[in-house]
Every structure is written in C-alpha cells, then in structure tokens.
C-alpha cells in the first residue's frame, strides 16, 4: 500500500511540502446528489426561502474558495475558475450537483471541487428543510482530475 502523504514517518499529521513541485494547470470535477421530496418546489421556484439553485450555486463557489479554512491540511491556492451547476429532476426527486475547479499551482483542486459540491448540497437542504426535513445528500465524489505529476484520472 502506498504511503499516505499527509502523515510523517512517526504517523503524525503534516502539511505536504509542495515548494519543489512545478506549477501546472490542474482541474477537478466532483459531483453529488440531494434527494428531496421538494424537487418540484425547487424546479417551480416556489420554495419559501427563495431561489434554491442560485443560492446553492453561489454557496458552492464561495465554499471552494474557503476550502483550506475548512480542511486543515489543504494548501491555500489561487483558484482560477469555479463553476457549480445544479440540475433538478422532479420525477426522481433528485438535485444533481457538479463542480469544476481550475488552478495553475503546485497542488490539485480535488478538495475544492468536493467542498463546493458538499456546501451546495447543504445549502439545498437548508433552503428546503421546512418543506422536506428528510432531504439527504448522497454520492459526493471526485469524477475526474487532470494536471500535476500523476496526470489525468477519470472515475
């Protein structure tokens, strides 16, 4: 099994030293789903708290920018692009979330993409909880990443 990068020789948590890594364009795409009985209300724009999709999109973008404040060993890096898209399927009661993040830096943006999806999902739940207190976030995962030493990866 490969050695974990965020653990030193003594098993203690550490921030990875990326100073000697070359700067390269790095991208990541993550997805997730909110299952909710309020999907029809979201699609119709009739949720009492307002435009769920717009608010969740902005929340996801803001969250990506704050990832190193939330995930202790993440490097603060300049994000060059963050896009968060949400799609409502009233028939299945699902809100699909996708985040795409790009940087030109020494470390990847997988955690930023995951954070964007997670917070966008939390925002959907916050906005519909009066209508559907059972809404659930599922399947948050990295779908693909590109750039850096390890190159491209696709689920």
Q: pLDDT at position 10, please?
A: 83
8 is catalytic: no
| pTM recorded for the entire structure | 0.93
Closest CA to 15 of 91, 64, 63, 76: 76
3-state SS, the chain, equals: CCCCCCECCCCCECCCCCCCCCCEEEEEEEEEEEECCCHHHHHHCCCCCCCHHHHHHHHHHHHHHCHHHHCCCCCCCCCCEEEEEEEEECCCCEEEEEEEEEEEECCCCHHHHHHHHHHHHHHHHHHHCCCCCCCEEEEEEEEEEECCCCCCEEC
Closest CA to 100 of 148, 146, 137: 146
- What are the tens digits of pLDDT across the range 27-56? 999 999 999 999 999 999 998 888 999 999
Q: pLDDT at position 131, please?
A: 92
- What are the tens digits of pLDDT across the range 94-149? 999 999 999 999 999 999 999 999 999 999 999 999 999 999 999 999 999 999 88
**Alpha carbons 94 and 36: distance in angstroms, whole number:** 6
Q: pLDDT at position 125, please?
A: 98
Candidate list 8, 69, 126, 132, residue with the active-site label:
126
- Band (9; pLDDT cuts 50, 70, 90): confident
């Amino acid at each position: 099994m490969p050695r974990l990068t965020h653990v030193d020789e003594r098993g203690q948590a550490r921030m990875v030293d990326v100073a000697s890594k070359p700067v390269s364009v790095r991208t990541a795409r993550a997805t997730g789903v909110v299952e909710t009985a309020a999907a029809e209300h979201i699609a119709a724009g009739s949720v009492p708290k307002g435009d769920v999709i717009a608010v969740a999109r902005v929340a996801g973008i803001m969250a990506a920018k704050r990832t190193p404040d939330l995930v202790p060993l993440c490097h603060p890096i300049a994000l060059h692009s963050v896009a968060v898209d949400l799609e409502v399927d009233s028939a299945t009661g699902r809100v699909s979330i996708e985040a795409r993040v790009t940087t030109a830096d020494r470390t990847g943006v997988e955690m930023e993409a995951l954070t964007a999806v997670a917070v966008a999902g939390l925002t959907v739940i916050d906005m519909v909880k009066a209508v559907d207190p059972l809404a659930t976030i599922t399947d948050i995962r990295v779908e693909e990443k590109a750039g850096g030493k390890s190159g491209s990866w696709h689920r």
